[in-house]
Amino acid sequence: MSNFSELCNPIFEQATCDYHLKDDVDSLMKNPYKEYNIEYYLYLKNWIDAVQWHLEDIVRDPKLKPEETIAIKRRIDKSNQERTDLVELIDSFFLEKYKHIQISPQATINTESPAWAIDRLSILFLKIYHMKCEIERTDVSPEHRDACKQKLNILLEQKQDLSTALDQLLDDIISGRKYMKVYKQMKMYNDPSLNPVLYGKK
């Protein structure tokens, strides 16, 4: 079985911990991996997710001024596009890596590509990190901590299941039992030629 999860999971954990050393959405990322390697992109993926996670927290502050809220919302929108672009880049890595695989005539396509599974796995690491923080809080009730412990157990189980599913999917692709297709997201609201507000439709 492919063990790609054994590569990406420690990188996601490392990036999550590195981000929270300063816990600042404006911190400069210091990616320890060589640029253009898959490890570099996995680290970058989780860093983008970590920044966006905290932007989503910040934008919900009721004390924010309207102009501050708009600025953060636009930053989140830009981050979403970067995240999508990076997922597609990671899928391109798999397409290139497995382009010579002989596909079985009975091969089937999966509901999601490997990189979108990796996207969900990266975000799971952030959920786990923050749920652990909730358990460690001293300003909450025992009931709150107990509820968070139960949620953490579910998240850890989900991480194991998703890691296994990712490895099985890649194993199926390598063996020719499944094949990949990558559909570009084609987000219309970010494209000045496709968003009616941006191209001036009345």
Give the model confidence (pLDDT) of 12-41 as tens digits: 999 999 999 999 999 999 999 999 999 999
The span from the CA of 11 to the CA of 17, in Å, is 10
pLDDT at 182: 80
Q: Are 93 and 148 in contact (CB under 8 A)?
A: no
Q: Which residues of the chain have pLDDT under 50?
A: none
Tokens of 127: 């959920």
What pLDDT sits at residue 174? 97
Domain ranges of the chain: 4-193
pLDDT digits (tens, 9 = 90+) for 57-83: 999 999 999 999 999 999 999 999 999
Give the DSSP letter of residue 140: S
Tell me how far apart the alpha carbons of residues 98 and 109 are, in angstroms, rounded to a whole number: 15
Q: Are the C-beta atoms of 31 and 47 separated by less than 8 Å?
A: yes
pLDDT value of residue 192? 78
Query: Burial code of 74-88, b = ≥16 C-beta within 10 A, e = fewer?
Result: ebbeebeeebbebbb
DSSP 138: S
Position 56 scores a pLDDT of: 98
Say which amino acid occupies 110.
N
